[in-house]
């Protein structure tokens, strides 16, 4: 039960590991998230061409329960922590993040952004623009086709991973561009500005987070959506950069692609 008069900390974009396998026990990830987000904290666990949320929910550890029929929100009573299912989808125009879609559901990758947005809406997902001006971004197409912005519930104005930059290889000032884009094009609309870690290791979980105003005594897809939509300021957010971890993540991805891992 959430005290609706309080604010809560939410880190809505995490993968926990780079490959889709867990190197630690369930409790290890939960303890880190709980210690950093506090009572009634919310951590998003995001699938990427895998089923890591589903697999994670079955690991041995603390007692837990799904609190909605779609089984997209997992609650750990002992730690007063919520884990929300997510999916990061590679589209032809960049990545899209969709939260709180049903257990074992899948939005197909490789479609144009507009078609993926329609599919996300059909699945009643919470639609977020992840790292909109980093690699695999959709920020540029949103500039060219601003009519697509109305699909979104939130924009990542800070992503810890997106702090990494390198001339001619990785975009520079990605987070600054994301915040400027939000202020100039979106602020005032029913779309929130959020801060996330985009963790790919346990150590990075909740190093950044958003401070959300509680809207309901019970967390649900709709109440979380509204909390995100109502967040129009970065005040109270924790916005940490993780350049070294981002570099390690990119290196690991290359090693996986080359078959070294």
Q: Quickly list H helices, 81-208.
A: 113-122, 139-144, 174-185
Residue with the two structure tokens 């009634």? 40
Kindly list the domain boundaries of the chain, sorted by start residue.
7-258
Residue-level pLDDT at 28: 98
Residue 53, CB half-sphere, CA atoms under 13 Å: how many? Answer: 30
The closest alpha carbon to 197, from 29, 6, 28, belongs to: 29
Locate 96 and state its tokens.
Answer: 């899209």
Question: Which one has a higher pLDDT value, 252 or 112?
Answer: 112
CA-CA-CA-CA torsion sign (198, 203, 205, 208) = negative
- Give 101-132 pLDDT, tens digit per residue: 999 999 999 999 999 999 999 999 999 999 99
CA separation for the pair 86, 101 (Å, rounded): 7
Residue-level pLDDT at 11: 98
Predicted TM-score (pTM) above 0.75: yes
Question: What mean pLDDT value characterizes the chain?
Answer: 91
Whether the CB-CB separation of 155 and 128 falls below 8 Å is answered with yes
Residue-level pLDDT at 217: 74
**Predicted confidence band of residue 34 (pLDDT cuts 50, 70, 90):** very high
Locate 121 and state its tokens.
Answer: 């809406």
**Predicted confidence band of residue 156 (pLDDT cuts 50, 70, 90):** very high
Whether 19 has a pLDDT exceeding 60, the answer reads: yes
Three-state SS at 199: strand
Residue-level pLDDT at 135: 81
Whether 22 has a pLDDT exceeding 80, the answer reads: yes
Class of domain 7-258: alpha beta
Residue-level pLDDT at 261: 55
Whether 167 has a pLDDT exceeding 90, the answer reads: no
Count of Cβ atoms closer than 10 Å to residue 31 Cβ: 18
* Region of residue 173 (left: phi > 0; alpha: psi -120 to 50; beta: else): left
* CA angle 129–193–77, rounded 5-degree value: 90
Whether the CB-CB separation of 197 and 240 falls below 8 Å is answered with yes
- Give 179-223 pLDDT, tens digit per residue: 999 999 998 899 999 999 999 999 999 999 999 998 777 899 999
Whether 169 has a pLDDT exceeding 70, the answer reads: no
Considering only 70-79, 87-96, 129-138, which range has the smallest mean pLDDT?
Answer: 129-138
CA separation for the pair 58, 198 (Å, rounded): 22
φ, ψ at 248 (rounded to 5°): -60, -40
Residue-level pLDDT at 215: 73
Region 75-80: mean pLDDT is 98
Region 5-11: mean pLDDT is 89
Strand partners, 99: 86, 126
Q: Where are the beta strands (DSSP E) in the chain?
A: 7-11, 41-47, 65-66, 73-76, 81-91, 94-99, 126-129, 154-159, 192-196, 210-213
Three-state SS at 209: strand
């Amino acid at each position: 039960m959430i005290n609706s008069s309080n604010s809560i900390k939410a880190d809505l974009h995490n993968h926990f590991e780079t490959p889709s396998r867990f190197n630690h026990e369930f409790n290890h990830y939960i303890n880190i998230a709980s210690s950093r987000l506090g009572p009634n904290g919310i951590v998003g666990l995001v699938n990427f061409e895998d089923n890591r949320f589903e697999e994670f929910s079955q690991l041995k550890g603390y007692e837990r329960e799904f609190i909605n029929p779609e089984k997209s929100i997992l609650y750990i009573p002992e730690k007063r922590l919520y884990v929300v299912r997510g999916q990061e989808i590679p589209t032809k125009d960049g990545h899209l993040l969709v939260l709180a879609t049903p257990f074992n559901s899948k939005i197909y990758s490789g479609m144009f952004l507009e078609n993926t947005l329609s599919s996300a809406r059909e699945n009643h997902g919470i639609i977020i623009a992840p790292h909109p001006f980093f690699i695999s971004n959709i920020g540029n197409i949103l500039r060219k086709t601003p009519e697509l912005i109305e699909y979104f519930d939130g924009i990542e104005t800070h992503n810890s991973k997106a702090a990494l930059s390198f001339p001619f290889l990785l975009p520079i000032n990605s987070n600054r561009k994301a915040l400027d884009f939000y202020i100039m094009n979106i602020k005032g609309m029913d779309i929130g500005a959020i801060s996330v870690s985009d963790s790919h290791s346990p150590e990075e979980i909740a190093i950044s987070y958003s401070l959300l105003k509680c809207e309901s005594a019970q967390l649900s897809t709709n109440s979380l959506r509204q909390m995100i939509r109502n967040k129009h300021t970065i005040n109270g957010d924790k916005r940490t950069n993780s350049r070294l971890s981002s570099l390690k993540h990119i290196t690991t991805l290359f090693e996986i692609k080359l078959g070294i891992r």
